[in-house]
A and B are shown apart, each in its own frame.
Chain A
Amino acid sequence: MSVIYVLWLRELRRYVRSRTQIVASLGQPLLYLVVLGFGLGPVFQKAGQGSYLQFVAPGIIAMTVLFSSIFSGMGLLWDRQFGFLRETLVAPVPRIQVMLGRTLGAATVAMCQGLLVAIVCFVVGFRVADPRALPVALLFMALIACLFSALGTAIGSVLQNIQGFQLIMNFLVMPIFFLSGALYPLNNLPGVLSIVTRLDPLAYGVDGLRTALMGASQFGLAADGSVLVLVAMMLLFIGSYLFSKIQV
């Protein structure tokens, strides 16, 4: 059994055992979906943009994967405080393997959450344009999950305790979400905003996911995919460097 595998398995076991947490974390996406989906629906329709539920559902799925992967990645902070991190840090295994096992585990957990929300979307009335594009949608979810799990691990490696958590939430995670085009179309935005959204990696994730599920693309699937892969690789690299430097 390899080190990466057991650490991946650990993340999964913890996820499966936290049933109340799973249900609780479905609340927020469900709220967004129902309140925004039905609340903004009429306005959206009048503006000639079609069904808002259809538009926002891929965004909500992306949001779920974003939050879940960042939180799971930052689970590192809890392991630091509750001591388990030390156990893995003194073990005679390359820290990059420890980092990869954790990050892939976090990404898998985020995928599971994303899939659950996708099912919820379907129940609420969301319909996929072309079921044959579903594997592409899954691929994009996986890319988003890997990218932000790596980011979460990187942040978790640097922060000393969870006091910084709120800071990260308000100044990084929420902006990434709101600027990603998950809630509104990115075309015809005022100049500065349109530039900023192009710097948000999640924008490419949302676009890719929306293209696969709905068929209307902003940047093009190839561009979406390449940006995500590139940024994910970069963050994995940075994350494993920072992880290897952790002192406790």
Chain B
Amino acid sequence: MIQVEHLVKRFGEFTAVDDISFEVRRGEIFAFLGPNGAGKTTTIKMLTTLARPTSGTVEIDGLDPNGSSHEVRKRFGIVFQDPSLDGDLTAYENMELHGVLYHVPRKVRVERIEQLLRLFELWERGNQQVKLFSGGMKRRLEIARGLLHTPKILFLDEPTLGLDPQTRNQLWTQVKHLNQSEGVTVFLTTHYMDEADRVAQRIAVIDHGKIVAQGSPQELKQQTSRDSLEEAFLALTGSTIRDEAASSTDQMRQFGKLWGNRR
């Protein structure tokens, strides 16, 4: 379903993704794990037509995200790591806009929106502007929105970031259900190793832009002779903390606040 070969992404001198190759099979749940700044989000951007690779090839369902971007976009859904809601619109309006963008027929759209908003306990707040929501509620809405249509491939970039255990549970139940009943291929990243261990059939570990290990959770544990995936992960990637400078988005948010732009 996803074929990546010798993929490279450079930002000036810095190589964020350094010659990675992997394959995600049709109908599989695939976890892409790595420390902060390893290059996970950058890879997802290249898979989802948002960024051009410096070199290497990507195939999504046999198509090139650069050449046939429109065809590729028809095939996937995505929950981004960073917020992507419109804070001035209400929760319902955000969902509706998404439904229209993804050509979900009106009748189905109305039903699904109510169902998902209820599922993630946002229905009562549906007519409130999203900028008034708490962080976790915004995150829940992003996830509900990502599940509104049924794509062939679902990308989840740290979907459980900042969520309470109840919602995390709900999310993975939904994802597994989609995977089993609709055959949706899932490509996810997370920093919670227990989640990856529980839901993923196969895992790739990336560090400093390079893939350092691939295999089932079981294989990774055996390979490193550790009992838990968390220990295996630490064995593969070392235990030093990766510090990341404040991103330009954070700076922008602060700037936005300066101007009374509450979003």
Contact = CB atoms under 8 A, between A and B. Distances in A.
Given A81-B249, A82-B263, A92 B255 contact: no
B85 A83 contact: yes
A13 to B, nearest CB: 6
A86 B84 contact: yes
A78 interface: yes
A130 interface: no
B161 to A, nearest CB: 14
A108 to B, nearest CB: 16
A162 B258 CA distance: 13
Contacts of B76: 90
A82 B256 contact: yes
A248 B50 contact: yes
B128 interface: no
Given A6-B101, A87-B98, A247 B252 contact: no
A92 B252 CA distance: 28
B101 A17 contact: no
A6 B97 contact: yes
A88 B101 contact: yes
Contacts, number: 88
B50 A90 contact: yes
Interface in A65-89: 78-79, 81-84, 86-89
A83 B84 contact: yes
Interface string A81-103: 11110111111111000000000
B252 A84 contact: no
A88 B255 CA distance: 23
B86 A84 contact: yes
B261 A83 contact: no
A86 B50 contact: yes
A6 B84 contact: no
B70 A84 contact: no
A89 B252 CA distance: 20
B51 A248 contact: yes
B48 A90 contact: yes
Label chain A's interface by main secondary structure.
helix
Interface string B43-77: 00100111110000000000000000010011010
Contact of A92 (B88, B103, B129, B261): B103
A91 B83 contact: no
Interface residues of A, number: 29
A89 B102 CA distance: 12
Contacts of B261: 78
A247 B80 contact: no
Interface string B172-187: 0000000000000000
A14 interface: yes
B52 A81 contact: no
B100 A3 contact: yes
B77 to A, nearest CB: 9
Nearest to A17: B88
Interface in A1-38: 1-3, 6-7, 10, 13-14, 17-18
Given A86-B82, A90-B76, A162-B252, 18 more contacts: A1-B100, A3-B100, A10-B86, A13-B89, A14-B86, A14-B88, A78-B261, A81-B248, A82-B253, A83-B82, A84-B85, A87-B84, A87-B101, A89-B49, A89-B50, A91-B101, A92-B70, A247-B50
22 contacts: A7-B97, A10-B89, A14-B89, A78-B256, A78-B263, A79-B86, A81-B248, A81-B252, A81-B253, A81-B256, A82-B83, A82-B253, A82-B256, A83-B82, A83-B83, A87-B85, A91-B73, A91-B98, A91-B101, A91-B102, A247-B51, A248-B50
Q: Which 5 A-B pairs have the closest CB atoms?
A: A91-B101, A83-B84, A81-B252, A92-B74, A92-B73
Interface of B: 45, 48-52, 70, 73-74, 76, 78, 80, 82-89, 93, 96-98, 100-103, 106, 129, 248-249, 252-253, 255-256, 261, 263
